[in-house]
């Protein structure tokens, strides 16, 4: 953050906490701090705002004040003194003082680093503070004349994972491994998808994970072909494949893993052929996850393998290059192969720089997750292929020594998967 707010920049950054969302009446949705604010402070309370003042090299925080009555209900608060002693604030105020203090803190600043559009109510408070400073122009005050998205700096920082970030990601991967292994060994015909989901969630929490990194997908049979399937309520049959896309969050860092395996502990010929093809694409894309390559190239590896394989299996016909050019593979593989992974499952950081696909660099983490999904209604293929869905997803750290698969310990070869299911 110091680099963004270089001395002389006459800049101020304003980063609010995530809003609290009411679920109903006096019950809120589970609270999770805004990732940027947590990244910069480690502070997880709602109702807080961080300000960074460049020239003064100062960190100012607005927080909920201590309140013995409220703390009986909602737990301890750090309070104004606590954020100074424990979270590195140089100065702190009660959040109720924001309206009075913000115009003073913005006055005479040139650049305001603030992300507009995320929380309209908070946007208004910031815009009011600017207006307030403007009104005092005749008294010699100036106001920020440029608003810059702090993501241009903070998200670039978050894109590159350092030792502590990777420690958390490795622990998330370890707990997620336990969960997938448990699901593989426990799944049996006649169980419901939600019973497997329950095992995953229990394993996450028991391992110290605060929460899943996203809603777990537990899709059997044709449900595996629904990319964001979330109902998880079907009874599983011996002939089904089960696709599990589930990862936990640990210390505010995500894992994101998909495995697919046969409920009846035996692949059909067609299921195995699709599985092996996805695995071939997965292996090729991981090998391509090198410093200097791009996410586009990683995707292209999977597209080429999958298109050639679909031709080999008779599910597509024609010239591979022409089929790729015509996007014919998209009837089976309709999503991208990778996204950044970090504090958010679809993490921040730009994918393009100056209009060009960005080169991978050491410290970035991305998923590799090719899949093939054959709709149960696809009458262009034989009935034995219909309703098969396979995705295999791992979390890859780009390094100077080559790709490091953070989730490699979760079985993915046919042999290893069948062994884990046995």
* Given 245, 301, 394, 395, the catalytic residue: 245
Q: Which is nearer to ligand GLY, 247 or 403 (CB)?
A: 247
Tell me how far apart the alpha carbons of residues 114 and 130 are, in angstroms, rounded to a whole number: 12
Closest approach of Cβ 347 to ligand GLY, in Å? 10
Which residue is listed with tokens 């979270």?
A: 87
Q: Which is nearer to ligand GLY, 249 or 393 (CB)?
A: 393
* Given 66, 182, 335, 336, the catalytic residue: 335
CB atoms within 10 A of CB 337: 27
- Known catalytic residue at 180: no
Query: Which of positions 326-365 make contact with ligand GLY (CB under 6 A)?
Result: 339, 345
Tokens (6 digits) for 27: 């019950």
Tell me how far apart the alpha carbons of residues 317 and 183 are, in angstroms, rounded to a whole number: 37
Choose the stretch contacting Mn ion; rule: CB under 5 A; options: 40-48, 290-298, 353-361, 364-372: 364-372
Those residues whose C-beta lies under 8 Å from the C-beta of residue 119, and which sit 6 or more positions away, are 16, 19
Among residues 10, 282, 36, the alpha carbon closest in space to that of 143 is found at: 10
Find out whether 218 and 260 touch, Cβ atoms under 8 Å.
Answer: no
Closest approach of Cβ 333 to Mn ion, in Å? 14
- Known catalytic residue at 335: yes
> DSSP assignment of 404-422, as one string?
EETTTTS--SHHHHHHHH-
Q: By CB under 6 A, is residue 395 in contact with ligand GLY?
A: no
- Known catalytic residue at 134: no
Among residues 44, 127, 46, 125, the alpha carbon closest in space to that of 87 is found at: 44
Integer angstrom CA distances of residue 396 from 55, 75, 150, 207, 390: 38, 38, 26, 22, 19
- Known catalytic residue at 87: no
Q: Which of 48, 203, 367, 378 lies at the binding interface for Mn ion (CB under 5 A)? A: 367
Find out whether 130 and 144 touch, Cβ atoms under 8 Å.
Answer: yes
Residue 214 interacts with, from ligand GLY, Mn ion, none (CB under 5-8 Å by kind):
ligand GLY
Closest approach of Cβ 228 to ligand GLY, in Å? 8
Q: Which is nearer to ligand GLY, 171 or 339 (CB)?
A: 339
CB atoms within 10 A of CB 210: 15
x/- site string to Mn ion, residues 389 to 418, per CB under 5 A? ----x-------------------------
With CB under 6 A, what is the number of residues at the site for ligand GLY? 7
Q: Which is nearer to ligand GLY, 58 or 230 (CB)?
A: 230
- Known catalytic residue at 299: no
Q: By CB under 6 A, is residue 369 in contact with ligand GLY?
A: yes
- Known catalytic residue at 393: yes
Residue nearest to ligand GLY (CB): 245
Q: Which of 245, 344, 394, 395 lies at the binding interface for Mn ion (CB under 5 A)? A: 245
Find out whether 114 and 150 touch, Cβ atoms under 8 Å.
Answer: yes
Those residues whose C-beta lies under 8 Å from the C-beta of residue 6, and which sit 6 or more positions away, are 54
Q: Which of 34, 36, 245, 394 lies at the binding interface for ligand GLY (CB under 6 A)? A: 245
Choose the stretch contacting Mn ion; rule: CB under 5 A; options: 131-139, 227-235, 238-246, 311-319: 238-246
- Known catalytic residue at 155: no
| Side-by-side strand order, sheet with 217-220 | 217-220, 241-245, 258-262
Tell me how far apart the alpha carbons of residues 409 and 392 are, in angstroms, rounded to a whole number: 13
* Given 275, 391, 394, 395, the catalytic residue: 391
* Three-state secondary-structure class, residue 239: coil
* Given 118, 206, 346, 419, the catalytic residue: 346
Tell me how far apart the alpha carbons of residues 97 and 161 are, in angstroms, rounded to a whole number: 36
Find out whether 259 and 180 touch, Cβ atoms under 8 Å.
Answer: yes
Residue 347 interacts with, from Mn ion, ligand GLY, none (CB under 5-8 Å by kind):
none
Residue 395 interacts with, from ligand GLY, Mn ion, none (CB under 5-8 Å by kind):
none
Q: By CB under 6 A, is residue 256 in contact with ligand GLY?
A: yes
Residues that bind Mn ion (CB under 5 A): 245, 256, 367, 393
Residues in contact with ligand GLY by the rule CB under 6 A: 214, 245, 256, 339, 345, 369, 393
- Catalytic center residues: 26, 228, 245, 256, 335, 339, 346, 369, 373, 391, 393
């Amino acid at each position: 953050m110091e680099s963004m707010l270089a001395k002389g920049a006459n800049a101020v950054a304003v980063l609010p906490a995530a809003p609290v969302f009411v679920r109903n009446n006096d019950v809120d949705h589970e609270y999770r701090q805004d990732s940027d604010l947590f990244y910069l402070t480690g502070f997880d309370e709602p109702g807080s705002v961080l300000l960074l003042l460049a020239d003064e090299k100062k960190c100012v925080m607005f927080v909920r004040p201590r309140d013995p009555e409220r703390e009986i209900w909602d737990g301890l608060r750090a309070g104004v003194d606590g954020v100074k002693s424990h979270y590195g604030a140089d100065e702190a105020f009660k959040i109720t003082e924001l309206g009075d203090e913000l115009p003073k803190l913005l006055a005479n600043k040139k650049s305001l680093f603030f992300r507009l559009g995320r929380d309209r109510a908070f946007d208004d408070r910031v815009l009011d503070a600017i207006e307030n400073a403007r009104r005092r122009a005749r008294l010699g005050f100036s106001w920020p004349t440029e608003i810059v998205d702090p993501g241009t700096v903070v998200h670039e920082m978050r894109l590159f994972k350092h030792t502590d970030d990777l420690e958390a990601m490795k622990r998330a991967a370890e707990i997620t491994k336990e969960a997938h292994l448990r699901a593989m060994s426990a799944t049996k015909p006649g169980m419901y998808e939600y019973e497997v989901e329950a095992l995953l969630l229990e394993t996450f929490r028991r391992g110290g994970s605060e929460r899943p990194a996203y809603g777990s997908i537990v899709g059997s049979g044709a449900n595996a072909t629904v990319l964001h399937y979330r109902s998880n309520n079907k009874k599983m049959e011996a002939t089904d494949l089960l696709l599990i896309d589930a990862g936990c969050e640990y210390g505010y860092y995500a894992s994101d893993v998909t495995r697919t395996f046969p409920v009846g502990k035996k692949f059909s010929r067609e299921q195995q052929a699709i599985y092996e093809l996805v695995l071939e694409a997965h292996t090729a894309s991981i090998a391509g996850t090198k410093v200097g390559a791009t996410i586009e190239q990683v995707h292209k590896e999977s597209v080429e393998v999958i298109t050639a394989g679909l031709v080999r299996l008779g599910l597509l016909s024609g010239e591979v290059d022409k089929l790729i050019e015509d996007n014919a593979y998209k009837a089976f593989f309709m999503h991208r192969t990778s996204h950044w992974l970090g504090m958010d499952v679809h993490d921040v950081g730009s994918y393009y720089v100056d209009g060009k696909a960005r080169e991978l660099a050491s410290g970035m983490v991305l998923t590799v997750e090719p899949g093939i999904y054959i709709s149960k209604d696809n009458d262009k293929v034989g009935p034995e292929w219909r309703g098969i869905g396979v995705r295999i997803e791992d979390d890859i750290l780009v390094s100077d020594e080559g790709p490091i698969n953070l989730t490699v310990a979760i079985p993915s070869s046919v042999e290893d998967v069948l062994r884990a299911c046995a």
